[in-house]
């Protein structure tokens, strides 16, 4: 079973996954990254004031295999 690593990059920097997870295939790694990112995005939306971008770089023992990215921006209409 292949091992995948999930490195997080957001406005606070990069967190490198040193442990990884054994998953059946690349599709399972994609699902894991997307679900993790969705949870982090939900938390970020609740506290964000303007814009946020975060991403998870997925790699295996041979190197990078995928990038999953989430970004959003809040634009308010100016009121007088």
Nearest Cα neighbor of 23 from 65, 54, 70 is: 65
From the number of C-beta atoms within 10 Å of its C-beta (0-12, 13-18, 19+), residue 37 rates as buried
Maximum Cα–Cα distance across the chain: 60
Check: pTM over 0.75? Answer yes or no.
yes
Q: Report the pLDDT value the prediction gives residue 47, as an integer from 0 to 100.
A: 73
Give per-residue pLDDT as tens, 58-75. Answer: 999 999 999 999 888 777
């Amino acid at each position: 079973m292949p091992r995948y690593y999930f490195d997080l990059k957001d406005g606070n920097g990069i967190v490198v996954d040193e442990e990884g997870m054994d998953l059946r295939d690349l599709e399972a790694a994609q699902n894991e990254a997307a679900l993790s990112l969705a949870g982090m995005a939900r938390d970020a939306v609740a506290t964000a004031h303007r814009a946020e971008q975060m991403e998870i770089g997925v790699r295996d023992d041979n190197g990078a295999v995928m990038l999953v990215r989430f970004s959003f921006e809040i634009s308010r209409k100016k009121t007088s």
